[in-house]
């Protein structure tokens, strides 16, 4: 670092950035370079990008935690760019940011040695990229945190002109047996049941994580000098990819376990043991592919392909339909479970929508799928007649001359555009009058304050962009 004065103001410069020296005789500032030598065009562009990043604090990626820039000049080796905000934590299994001091680098010949302090039971990944705006490549993954400093050597890293590195950590989901199930097995619970969980592999049929759990609880037997009684049991357990128990059973004999067991399936789902506990890490999905949408009445039937993860590990998917150049509402629909088909509604006629899909696992949410554009057809199908029309008096024993008649009905089938309103009509016997009321297309109740002596007949009619549909069957309410 160096400080120079330009125009009477002191500014701080980075090592190997151009220095600006005042030339008062010619009323100008002269730019010069330190001993590291003048930059190449590519080096100059890299430094310009660095200065822009430092000035505006650009956060390239939500999971970007710490970046180390290397160049062929040893003078600038180890410059650290802390590009993201402060530490973030996760209550569930998710990618979280690491404090800026976590990843450091030292030179060893042409190699770069990256080191960081690990925390149990986190699972760490180191990635590199020629530029933060380009794709990141995994150098090493599955580094289990155990409270020690981890080191990863990047061979011949300094032969490249520049590069960026980042450190990711996934907080795993704990694989346990719920206390209620533990009590069912053990039959005793004296101040809580202690558990020691250990994974043993993936089920050969379902692919789910499997393992064993050692249960124990110690109970007082009462009386002075009496010895406490300890109850123990072993259980076999199968979990799904959210960490929930699928099945369990009691084991008659003790089990030999591997306290450092670690396994990864074909989808990069990872299970491992640490400190008498079992853990599961599921990757973040890639963007869904193959999205298609077909209009059916006022909804799109959407299908897609889960991408980059075990389909069984997907916990939910969210559909988003965004209208293009329209004031129509943005539509969303979140569907639980490992599904790849769903519908989204209500669609406006002759409107172009951009549809995207996002998949989620316990590891986090995927990027949105590439959008597809679908234009809805003109409204040509009328809504159906509402069904289930009923009516009743709000007060069966009124004191005045009027009472409130309450009419209800089931929603009409909308046709190929949403129902935007209902027309409710009541007709009284003995010439008591006819009254109408219009309510919104999402309202299924209407209220009329009328004379309670006559009989009243109620009908309902639905409307959409194509027009008014047929009238419902009448429902008659007797007078009081």
Does 383 reside within a domain? no
The predicted structure's pLDDT at residue 111: 87
Q: What is the pTM of this model?
A: 0.69
pLDDT at 130 over 90: no
Does 52 reside within a domain? no
Judged on CB neighbours under 10 Å (0-12, 13-18, 19+), 96 is middle
Same domain, 179 and 244: yes
Average pLDDT, the chain: 81
Does 45 reside within a domain? no
**Where is pLDDT greater, at 421 or 66?**
421
Does 40 reside within a domain? no
The predicted structure's pLDDT at residue 406: 97
Count CA within 13 A, CB hemisphere, residue 269. Answer: 27
- The SS3 call for residue 480 is coil
Quote the CA–CA distance of 292 and 458 in Å, as a whole number: 43
The predicted structure's pLDDT at residue 375: 97
Categorize the per-residue pLDDT at 27 as very low, low, confident or very high, splitting at 50, 70 and 90: very low
The structural domain count of the chain equals: 5
List the alpha helices (DSSP H) in 81-194: 179-186
Q: How many helices and strands in the chain, by DSSP H and E?
A: 2, 37
Domain boundary among 346, 375, 404: 375
pLDDT at 72 over 90: no
Those residues with Cβ within 8 angstroms of residue 413's Cβ, 6 or more apart along the chain or in another chain:
297, 383, 384
Quote the CA–CA distance of 338 and 340 in Å, as a whole number: 7
Share of the chain above pLDDT 90, in %: 58
Does 385 reside within a domain? no
Same domain, 276 and 293: no
Same domain, 198 and 254: yes
What is the domain extent for residue 28?
2-32
Q: Report CA 310 to chain centroid distance, whole Å.
A: 16
Same domain, 269 and 302: no
**Where is pLDDT greater, at 224 or 435?**
435
Same domain, 207 and 237: yes
Quote the CA–CA distance of 273 and 425 in Å, as a whole number: 69
pLDDT tens per residue across span 80-117:
333 332 222 222 333 333 344 478 888 888 888 889 88
The predicted structure's pLDDT at residue 162: 66
pLDDT at 334 over 90: yes
Categorize the per-residue pLDDT at 57 as very low, low, confident or very high, splitting at 50, 70 and 90: very low
Categorize the per-residue pLDDT at 32 as very low, low, confident or very high, splitting at 50, 70 and 90: very low
Count CA within 13 A, CB hemisphere, residue 469. Answer: 32
The predicted structure's pLDDT at residue 100: 41
pLDDT at 336 over 80: yes
Domain boundary among 150, 171, 192: 171
CATH of the domain at 457: 2.60.40.10
Same domain, 402 and 442: yes
The predicted structure's pLDDT at residue 63: 34
Q: Which helix (H) or strand (E) is 187 found in, with range? A: none
pLDDT tens per residue across span 275-302:
899 999 999 999 999 999 999 999 999 9
Does 54 reside within a domain? no
Same domain, 274 and 179: yes
Q: Report CA 317 to chain centroid distance, whole Å.
A: 9
**Where is pLDDT greater, at 240 or 53?**
240
- The SS3 call for residue 108 is strand
The predicted structure's pLDDT at residue 45: 53
Q: Which of 108-122, 298-312, 313-327, 453-467 has the lowest mean pLDDT?
A: 108-122
Same domain, 354 and 425: no
Q: Where are the beta strands (DSSP E) in 337-466?
A: 341-344, 352-361, 364-365, 372-375, 390-393, 402-408, 421-428, 434-440, 445-451, 456-464
pLDDT at 44 over 70: no
Same domain, 69 and 141: yes
Phi, psi of 186 (to 5 degrees): -85, -35
Q: Report CA 277 to chain centroid distance, whole Å.
A: 26
Does 260 reside within a domain? yes
CB 230 within 8 A of CB 216: yes
For the ranges 35-49, 147-161, 215-229, 401-415, the maximum mean pLDDT occurs at: 401-415
pLDDT at 59 over 60: no
CB 47 within 8 A of CB 41: no
**Which CA distances in Å does 259 have to 176, 207, 211, 405, 411?**
15, 21, 12, 71, 59
Quote the CA–CA distance of 354 and 282 in Å, as a whole number: 29
**Where is pLDDT greater, at 3 or 344?**
344
Domain boundary among 352, 375, 398: 375
The predicted structure's pLDDT at residue 346: 95
**Where is pLDDT greater, at 198 or 75?**
198
């Amino acid at each position: 670092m160096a400080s120079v004065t330009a125009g009477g103001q002191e500014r701080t410069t980075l090592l190997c950035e151009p220095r600006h020296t005042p030339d008062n005789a010619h009323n100008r500032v002269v730019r010069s370079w330190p001993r590291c030598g003048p930059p190449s065009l590519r080096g100059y562009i890299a430094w310009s990008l660095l200065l822009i990043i430092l000035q505006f604090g650009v956060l390239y990626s939500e999971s970007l935690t710490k970046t180390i820039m290397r160049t062929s000049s040893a003078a600038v080796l180890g410059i650290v760019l802390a590009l993201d905000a402060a530490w973030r934590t996760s209550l569930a299994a998710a990618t979280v940011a690491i404090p800026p001091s976590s990843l450091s680098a030292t030179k060893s010949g042409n190699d770069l040695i990256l080191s960081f302090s690990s925390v149990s039971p986190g699972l760490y990944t180191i990635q590199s990229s020629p530029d933060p705006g380009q794709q990141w490549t995994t150098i090493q993954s599955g580094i289990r945190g155990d409270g020690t400093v981890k080191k990863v050597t990047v061979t011949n890293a300094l032969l490249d002109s520049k590069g960026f590195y980042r450190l990711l950590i996934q907080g795993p989901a704990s694989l346990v047996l719920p206390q209620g199930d533990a009590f069912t097995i053990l039959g005793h619970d004296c101040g809580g049941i202690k558990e020691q969980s250990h994974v043993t592999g993936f089920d050969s049929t379902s692919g789910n994580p499997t393992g064993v759990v050692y249960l124990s609880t110690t109970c007082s037997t009462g009386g002075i000098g009496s010895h406490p009684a300890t109850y123990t049991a072993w259980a076999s357990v199968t979990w799904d990819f959210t960490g929930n128990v699928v099945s369990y059973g009691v084991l008659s004999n003790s089990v030999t376990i591997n306290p450092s067991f670690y396994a990864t399936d074909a989808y990069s789902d990872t299970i491992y043991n640490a400190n008498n506990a079992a853990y599961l890490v599921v990757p973040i999905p890639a963007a869904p592919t193959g999205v298609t949408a077909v209009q059916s009445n006022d909804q799109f039937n959407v299908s897609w392909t889960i991408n980059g993860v075990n389909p069984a590990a997907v916990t939910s998917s969210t559909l988003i339909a965004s209208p293009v150049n329209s004031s129509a509402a943005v539509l969303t629909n979140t569907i639980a479970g490992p599904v790849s088909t769903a519908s989204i509604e209500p669609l406006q006629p002759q409107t172009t929508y951009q549809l995207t899909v996002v998949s989620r696992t316990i590891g986090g949410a995927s990027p949105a799928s590439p959008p597809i554009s679908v234009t809805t057809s003109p409204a040509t199908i009328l809504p159906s007649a509402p069904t289930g029309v009923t009516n009743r008096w709000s007060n069966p024993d009124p004191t005045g001359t009027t009472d409130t008649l309450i009419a209800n009905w089931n929603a009409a089938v909308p046709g190929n555009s949403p129902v935007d309103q209902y027309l409710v009509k009541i007709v009284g016997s003995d010439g008591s009058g006819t009254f109408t009321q219009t309510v919104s297309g999402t309202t299924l109740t209407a209220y009329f304050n009328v004379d309670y002596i006559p009989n009243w007949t109620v009908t309902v009619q639905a409307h959409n962009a194509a027009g008014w549909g047929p009238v419902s069957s009448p429902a008659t309410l007797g007078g009081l």
